[in-house]
Amino acid sequence: MKKFCETAGFLVFVQGVAGLLHVWFDWFRFFSLVRRLPFAAEYPLFVSIVLVVAGAAVMVASDAIKE
């Protein structure tokens, strides 16, 4: 379960970073999940920041899980 939480947190974190790179530099056009979500298309910067913070929080919280 610990590895699953770490992996999920990492994937969410990477999606947030890819969204930020897409908003700021127009990179990762095909990799970013944020721009493909219809409800998040209006606020891509905010959603990307939330994904980065949520991914980091899940990765940190996964250390509290005992195997």
The pLDDT tens digits for 7-54 are: 999 999 999 998 888 888 887 666 777 777 888 878 888 999 999 999
State residue 28's pLDDT score: 67
For residue 32, how many other CB atoms are within 10 A of its CB? Answer: 22
- Residue 2: which H helix or E strand, with range? helix 2-25
Kindly give, in sequence order, each residue whose CB lies less than 8 Å from that of residue 28, ignoring residues fewer than 6 positions away. 18, 19, 21, 22
- Residue 63: which H helix or E strand, with range? none
State residue 53's pLDDT score: 97
Q: How far apart are CA 34 and CA 44, in angstroms?
A: 6
State residue 4's pLDDT score: 92
pTM over 0.75: yes
Q: Which two tokens stand for residue 63?
A: 């250390």
